[in-house]
Amino acid sequence: MKVLHIGEYVVGGVATYLNELVAYQRHIFDVYLLMSDHNSASDFDLEPDRIFRYKYKRHPKHFFSAMRQIHQTIRRIQPDIIHVHSSFAGMLARGLFFITPRKASVFYCSHGWSFLMDTKPLHKKAYFMIEKVLEFKTDFIINISKYELEQSVRLGMSPAKSRFVYSGLRDRKNIQRPDHSPPVVQDDLDKTSVIQLLFVGRYDRQKGLDILLDVMGKYPELQQLIRLYVIGDSVLEKNEWSFPENVVRLGWVDNAEIDNYYEQCDAIIMPSRWEGLPLVALEAMKNHKPVIASNRASLPELVSHGMNGYIFDLNRPEELREILMSLDKMTLAAMGEVGHGIYKEKFSSDRMNEEFVSLYYEARNIGVAFQGVHPASRLEISKRNGE
């Protein structure tokens, strides 16, 4: 069976998610990856000759050219499954099938519904109408959180086509730095008492870094108790923010080294305004770290207040201040162990990939023949059947 994954700007969480899929599926299916040549990652656990790129930048003048290039790749590969990732890729790839025939089964994951974003009601309505039209050319709509599934179906997306599959990550140690030096900036702060927090994400409104910086600046007492390390930079927006003295900006970090940063912090903080299912939270739990998160979207689905982290009301900055003032290392370490147990139970890469393998076979009407068959055996069966 041939599987073609299609993305637009494949970077950050989407790149991590896709890498988990292709790394697993390449041992079972004939897997290919297609994405923009602009603003996409370069390292994937997939043979280079299976990775294709189309010339594109996010602007309406490039849409039809991108659609033509995507169509050419689909004709060349002739996939059985087309798995599309993110809203713009969903528009470009599925929009094709209103003017060209399709043989493949189409899976679509928005990685965060645009009509659930914190934006103007008119924009939300327009985003929903676009998704509703494109639904006609989709066989399976993948939701990455229960919140997204419930809200999208409530608003009118097809319950028959909608599925829920939690994202997953492999539990593996990434590459260590050659000199074994700690990647976090070294200074003279007392790491036995100062709480080290880590923020990972884009400098975009969605991620809420501005809210966290405002709290840090508004309450100077926090600057004596907290050292905040920030991994990331601007991607979609160019924001000019003021960074207090207790904030260390690290820029983007190679994904092969990211676990080193998680390991050295006491907790991860996520003041997001909206999210699909943030892989940063899963990375934290994988690395035995608690998560301090806003009460928006799927975050309360991942973080149980007082168990594997803390949840705060995004509309009450004083609530975040109270949580930050009360942090202590022993409690955070215990919460991190609870979070790791949740990760192993719900968010492993194998669990996610097993669900997708089953859905792919269901889409091709051969799911019954593979029920109960171990993935290692599926490859051999597929070869014998000539798939």
pLDDT at residue 6, as a whole number = 98
CA-to-CA separations, 166 to 29, 76, 101, 307, 350, in angstroms, rounded: 21, 31, 31, 20, 11
Asked if 237 contacts 209 with a C-beta cutoff of 8 angstroms, the reply is: no
Q: What is the pTM of this model?
A: 0.81
If DSSP codes are grouped into helix, strand and coil, which group holds residue 233? coil
For residue 362, report the phi and psi dihedrals to the nearest 5 degrees.
-60, -40
How crowded is residue 2: how many other Cβ atoms within 10 Å of its Cβ?
A: 15
Least Cα distance to 106 among 67, 74, 144, 139 occurs for 139
Cα angle value 256/241/224 (rounded, 5°): 80
DSSP 77-129: H--SEEEEESHHHHHHHHHHTTTS---SEEEEE-SS-GGGSSS-HHHHHHHHH
d(CA 387, CA 15): 27
Using the Cα atoms of residue 224, residue 228, residue 233 and residue 236 in order, give the sign of their dihedral: negative
Chain centroid to Cα 161, Å, comes to 21
In which element (H, E) is residue 310 found? Answer: strand 309-312
Low-confidence ranges of the chain (pLDDT < 50): 175-182, 185, 366-387
Asked if 165 contacts 355 with a C-beta cutoff of 8 angstroms, the reply is: yes
Using the Cα atoms of residue 188, residue 189, residue 191 and residue 192 in order, give the sign of their dihedral: positive
**What domains does the chain contain, in order, with CATH numbers?**
2-170+348-384 (3.40.50.2000), 195-346 (3.40.50.2000)
pLDDT at residue 130, as a whole number = 97
pLDDT at residue 367, as a whole number = 39
d(CA 119, CA 273): 10
pLDDT at residue 205, as a whole number = 86
pLDDT at residue 246, as a whole number = 87
Q: What are the b/e assignments for 73-85, b being 16+ CB within 10 Å? A: bbeebebbbbbbb
Asked if 253 contacts 185 with a C-beta cutoff of 8 angstroms, the reply is: no
pLDDT at residue 89, as a whole number = 96
